[in-house]
Amino acid sequence: MRITFLNQKGGVGKSTVSILIGAALQSAGYRVAFDDQDPQQSIRLWASQVGGLPLLENSPENDIIICDTPGRLDLNQSSPLSQLIAISNRNILVCEKSLFSTHASVPMVEFVKRYQQPGARSCVLFNKVRSTTLVGKQNVSELSADLGLPALNNFLPLAAPFENVQTMGFNAVTGKHRELVLTLALEILKES
């Protein structure tokens, strides 16, 4: 299964989410490999220096491929991104719960719908959610309807353990935060 995390808007946390989901699935017993398509190569750096998880080119036998994409995309071209969407079983639009983030994500949604294959599943993952703010309390159903993609039931709050995974590895994510990431990862797998 190939799970691709994408959005044309930078700064929504695609790389961090990719790391979290990949590491959670590996901890659940899946053979996971990363395909880092982002020119910044954050996943490549993390996998080699912090996380110890394999990159796709070093792991030909795997159950799940986690693909991270660039933070700024030109959606006017039939680019390698269209090919990634076409070969992905899950296309996960990582988005913040804000007017600016959802507005900037609409062209990405249209691009995903254009290139996803029959049987593939695309949905929105709200990330860095501040649940106690007015923005964080927005109705997920309304936001996902505005975007034109269903939202996952689970979301990731803005939390230090999720940020710390970049420098400390998945061991930085413990307790309820680890349970949440695993629940989210399994939700992504089960989406049909």
Distances (CA, A) of 107 to 6, 95, 96, 103, 182: 12, 13, 15, 8, 29
Q: Which two tokens stand for residue 53?
A: 């998880």
77: pLDDT strictly greater than 80: no
Beta-bridge mates of residue 121: 90
86: pLDDT strictly greater than 60: yes
Q: What is the pLDDT of residues 124-174, one digit of tens each?
A: 999 999 988 888 888 888 888 888 999 999 999 999 999 999 999 999 999
Lowest-pLDDT choice from 73-82, 111-120, 178-187: 73-82
Query: In the chain, which ranges are E strands?
Result: 2-6, 32-36, 64-68, 90-95, 121-126
Give the DSSP letter of residue 83: H
CATH class for the domain made up of 2-190: alpha beta
Q: CA torsion sign, 111 to 117 to 119 to 125?
A: negative
Q: Which two tokens stand for residue 47?
A: 């996998």
Give the DSSP letter of residue 157: B
Residue carrying structure tokens 């929504």: 12
- Model confidence band, residue 179 (pLDDT cutoffs 50, 70, 90): very high
Q: CA torsion sign, 67 to 36 to 38 to 75?
A: negative
Give the separation between CA 127 and CA 13, rounded to whole angstroms: 7
The reported pLDDT for the residue numbered 78 is: 62
